[in-house]
Amino acid sequence: MTPNDPRKAQKSLAALLAPDILDLLESEPSTVAAETEDLHPADLADVAESLPHSQIPLFLSALPAPRAAAVLEYFSEELRTELLEAMSPEQAAALVDAMTPDDRADTLEELDEAHAGEIVDALPSETRRNTQQLRAYEPDSAGGLMTTEVVSVPDSYTVEEALRRVREIARSGRREAMNAVYAIDVDGTLKGVMSLRELLAAPEGARVTDVAWPEVRHALVTADREEVARLIAEYDLVAIPIVDDRHRVLGVVTVDDVIDVIQEEQTEDVQKLGGMEALDQPYMQMSVGAMIQKRAGWLAVLIVLQMFTASAMERFDAELMQLPILMLFIPLVMSGGGNSGSQATSLITRAMALKEVHLGDWWRVAIRELPTGLVLGVILGAIAAARVFLSQHAFDQGWDLFGYTLGYNFERDNGPSWQLVAGNVFASLTAIVMFGSMAGSMLPFVLRRLGFDPASASAPFVATLVDVTGLIIYFSVALLILGKFMG
Binding its own copies by CB under 8 A: which of 135, 207, 248, 368?
Answer: 368
- Give least dist CB 312 to its own copies, A: 9
327 part of the interface to its own copies, by CB under 8 A? yes
- Give least dist CB 1 to its own copies, A: 10
- Show contacts with its own copies in window 53-72 (CB under 8 A): none
Three-state DSSP at 430 gives: helix
CA end-to-end distance (rounded Å), the chain: 78
Cβ density class 2-13: b for 16+ within 10 Å, e for less = eeeeeeeebeeb
Residue 136 phi/psi, 5° resolution?
Answer: -75, -20
> Does residue 74 contact residue 14 with C-beta atoms inside 8 Å?
no
179 part of the interface to its own copies, by CB under 8 A? yes
320 part of the interface to its own copies, by CB under 8 A? yes
Length of the chain: 487
233 part of the interface to its own copies, by CB under 8 A? yes
* List of E strands, 259-415: 400-401, 404-405
Sorted by sequence, the CB contacts under 8 Å of residue 201 that are 6+ apart come out as none
Nearer residue to its own copies within complex by CB, 166 or 443: 166
CB atoms within 10 A of CB 338: 23
Three-state DSSP at 195 gives: strand
- Show contacts with its own copies in window 387-416 (CB under 8 A): 387, 391, 408
* CA nearest neighbour of 353 among 459, 267, 435: 267
Contact range with its own copies by CB under 8 A, out of 90-98, 109-117, 121-129, 163-171: 163-171
16 part of the interface to its own copies, by CB under 8 A? no
- Cα–Cα distance measured from residue 16 to residue 19, given in angstroms and rounded to the nearest whole number: 7
284 part of the interface to its own copies, by CB under 8 A? yes
> Does residue 120 contact residue 97 with C-beta atoms inside 8 Å?
no
- Give least dist CB 400 to its own copies, A: 14
36 part of the interface to its own copies, by CB under 8 A? no
- Give least dist CB 114 to its own copies, A: 30
139 part of the interface to its own copies, by CB under 8 A? no
How many residues touch its own copies (CB under 8 A)? 134
- Show contacts with its own copies in window 188-207 (CB under 8 A): 195-198, 200-201, 203
Nearer residue to its own copies within complex by CB, 83 or 468: 468
Binding its own copies by CB under 8 A: which of 25, 335, 366, 394?
Answer: 335
Nearer residue to its own copies within complex by CB, 89 or 155: 155
In order, the DSSP letters of 314-325 are HHTHHHHHH-TH
